[in-house]
Every structure is written in structure tokens, then in C-alpha cells.
Amino acid sequence: MTVIPSCPACVIHDDDVFRRSLIATLDQKHFTVSFPADGDDAVKLLEGRSFSVVLVGVNLVQEKGLRALAYLRDHRDRAKCGVIILGDPNPELRTYAPWVDETLLKPVDPAYVADRARTYCNC
């Protein structure tokens, strides 16, 4: 039996149902998942830990996830992680943060997100 190494991932998302489903899927696919409660906790977590991939839920209308994205943008050289935006269909989303590695529009299957996240694992 092949053992898949754990991959550290951070999920920053305010949709509780989707977040729980994504975390469960990531857990099944051998990720070690951290999930901060809000934007301030997200920044603190990103400052103190290293992740292979960060998944950020973004809502441009309500400005959700933007603080975490700003931190990741400003600390790209130190963070050295894959960044995936998970966002509602919005024409501005794809151009809002052109430096991110991927933008996945919702609705999106958590298993697909986990498969995409695996590509950034440094394990």
C-alpha cells in the first residue's frame, strides 16, 4: 500500500457548508487542513505557518477574502505556496488578482478543488 504524504493546506472561506465539505474532502485526500475563523485569524495563521496551498473564497461584492489575498500578494516571496481563488461567477474575479495560480468559479466540486490543490504540494 502506497502512503501519500500529508500536504499542508489553508482554507479561507466564509460559506460554512462548502468549507466543511471541502475540508472533509481534503482530509480524505491526505491534506493537513487549517481553517481560520475570519480574515484577521487568516493573516495571523499565514504569518506563523507555511502551507503548500492556500484556498481563498472571494466575494468581490462583500469584500470577503480580500485581506488574506492582499497579505499573500504582499508576501509572495516568503509564502511560496500555491494560491487558488474560489469565487462566485463575476467577470472581475479573473482580473482582480492576476498573480494567483488558479481561479475556480463556484459552484465547484470539492473533489476537483482537492485535485487541483494537490498539484501545489511540495511533498
pLDDT on residue 37: 81
pLDDT on residue 44: 92
pLDDT on residue 3: 62
Give which of 75, 77, 69, 121 is closest to 100, Cα–Cα: 69
pLDDT tens digits along 100-119: 999 999 899 999 999 999 99
- Give all domains of the chain, ordered by start, each with its CATH number: 7-118 (3.40.50.2300)
Supply the DSSP string of the chain, one letter for each residue.
-PPPPPEEEEEE---HHHHHHHHHHHHHTTEEEE--SSHHHHHHHHHH---SEEEEEEBTTTTBTHHHHHHHHHTHHHH--EEEEEE-S-TTHHHH-TTSSEEEESS--HHHHHHHHHTT---
Task: Check whether 123 has a pLDDT greater than 60.
Answer: no
pLDDT on residue 92: 82
Determine the residue type at 102: E
> Residue 52 — very low, low, confident or very high, per pLDDT cuts 50/70/90?
very high
pLDDT tens digits along 62-98: 777 888 899 999 998 777 899 999 988 887 887 778 8
Which tops the pLDDT comparison, 88 or 10? 10
Contacts of 67 (CB under 8 A, 6+ apart): 39, 40, 42, 43
Q: What is the pTM of this model?
A: 0.91
Which tops the pLDDT comparison, 122 or 110? 110
> Residue 4 — very low, low, confident or very high, per pLDDT cuts 50/70/90?
low
